[in-house]
Amino acid sequence: MDSHIRFWFSRRKWVLVAVGLPVLIGAWWAFRPEKLWINQKVNEPAPFASSTDPQPLYTGRLEGKAHQTSGRATIYKTADGKEYLRLTDFSTSNGPDVHVLLARSDDENLKQEIVKGQVDRVELGLLKGNQGDQNYDLPASVDLQKYDAAVIYCERFHAVFGVARLEQF
Amino acid sequence: MDCKIRTVLAIAALAFTFGMQPPAHAQDSNAKTLETGTFHGKVHTTSGRATIYQEKDGRLILRLTNFKTSNGPDVHVILIAAADADDDANFLKSNTERVELGKLKGNEGDQNYAIPSGTDLSKFQTVSIYCERFNANFGAAPLEKF
């Protein structure tokens, strides 16, 4: 009797191992839980030789506020360190005294169409045209971490025509 | 004899000229940026930027920068024929058309993937980091014209 039990016990153990081990291995293969904390880092170079062309730093899509505005705003850095904002596929409404600004994307003033307070801004100049590709030089040493939005702004009526949130390229 | 030397010299000069030519690759310095977008992901936090470049010879390349996602088994990079992907776990149960770009090379860092020639980018508008085994979308980046 005693040996019978022991026999069963050991046999059950063997069955458990025979069934359990493949199940465990299968589960490990399927879920690869160790990958949750093992990272695989890569660092491939750009697919083309880096050149002397201006490099994009930040980019974003313009969204219309007071007037329908569309296109892309991108901040480039030239080989000699100058930065400029370039608008492409750009289209907005024409208007009086329209300016291009850099502002803070979290500025409460920009959430309204008509600004009541003061926008914390970097002035880039009068809008050159309400359609088409155009460049605006940035003053030296603008904190682009802080001023992370390009704004098309009508000074006369304090109207926000459009805002582009700039994100790292 | 003199003729022979001249021939050898000429061949040497030719070889030198061609050998000195910059590799064709150097001329591709200004690849065109076609489309770009940023990742969002819920199943696993995924962030970074996806950009499609066109080299001068017409080849399309997807490049991921500032990229970060979770590591996992059998993770692929695919283009899907959709304007965006839900942050839903099982988004590909429906027969969403896709273009396979290969296994994810790393869950962190800059990386490039060749896009098969003839891929219609106006149709395949979204990059997805896709776990084949669990049909899970780790993250998606809808692409917009640069």
**Greater pLDDT, B79 or A32:** B79
Interchain proximity A35–B71, CB inside 8 Å: yes
**Cβ proximity of A149 and A163 under 8 Å:** yes
Interface test with A, best of B44, B107, B132, B138 (most A CBs within 10 A): B107
Chain B hits for A43, CB-CB cut-off 8 Å, are 109-110
The whole-angstrom separation of Cα B129 and Cα A37 is 18
Q: Distance from A11 to chain B by nearest Cα, in Å?
A: 35
The answer to whether A88 contacts B146, with C-beta atoms less than 8 Å apart, is yes
pLDDT at B36: 96
Q: How many CB atoms lie within 10 A of CB A30?
A: 12
> Side chain identity at B28, as an amino acid letter?
D
**B117 reaches A (C-beta below 8 A):** no
A59: nearest CA in chain B? B146
Q: Looking at the whole model, is its pTM more than 0.80? A: no
Of B28, B108, B144, which has the smallest distance from its Cβ to A48's Cβ? B28
Among A59-63, A137-141, B18-22, the least confident range:
B18-22
Half-sphere exposure of B130 (CA within 13 A, CB side): 23
Confidence class of residue B9 from pLDDT cuts 50, 70 and 90? low
CATH code, domain carrying B58: 2.60.40
CB-based contact A41 B106, cutoff 8 Å: yes
Evaluate if residue A33 carries a pLDDT over 60: yes
Rg (CA), chain B: 22
Across the A/B interface, how many CB contacts are shorter than 8 Å?
84
Going by pLDDT thresholds of 50, 70 and 90, the confidence category of residue B25 is very low
Q: How many residues does chain A have?
A: 169
pLDDT grade for A97, boundaries at 50, 70 and 90: very high
Determine whether the interchain pair B73/A30 forms a contact, defined as Cβ–Cβ distance below 8 Å.
yes
Higher per-residue pLDDT: A89 or A50: A89
List chain A domain ranges. Answer: 2-36, 55-168
| Res B72: pLDDT | 85
Rounded percentage of chain B residues whose pLDDT exceeds 90: 51
Q: List the single range of A19-23, A111-115, B78-82 with lowest mean pLDDT.
A: A111-115
The mean-pLDDT minimum among A47-61, A84-98, B126-140 falls in A47-61
- B64 lies in a domain? yes
Decide if pLDDT at B24 tops 80. Answer: no
Residue B23 is assigned to a structural domain of this protein: no
A41, A44, A56 ranked by CB distance to B112: nearest: A44
Classify residue B97: in a domain, yes or no.
Answer: yes
Domains contained in chain B, number: 1
Going from the C-alpha of A96 to that of each of A66, A99, A155, A156, A160, the distances in angstroms are 14, 9, 8, 7, 13
Residue B140 inside a domain? The answer is yes
- For residue B65, the chain A residues in CB contact (below 8 A) are 169
Residues of B in contact with A49 (CB under 8 A): 25-26, 28-29
**Residues B35, B146 contacting (CB under 8 angstroms):** yes
Each residue's pLDDT tens digit, A42-71: 888 887 656 678 889 999 999 998 899 999
Interatomic CA distance for residues A100 and A135, integer angstroms: 10
Range of the domain at B59: 31-145
- Residue B80: which of B129, B38, B15, B10 has the closest Cα? B129
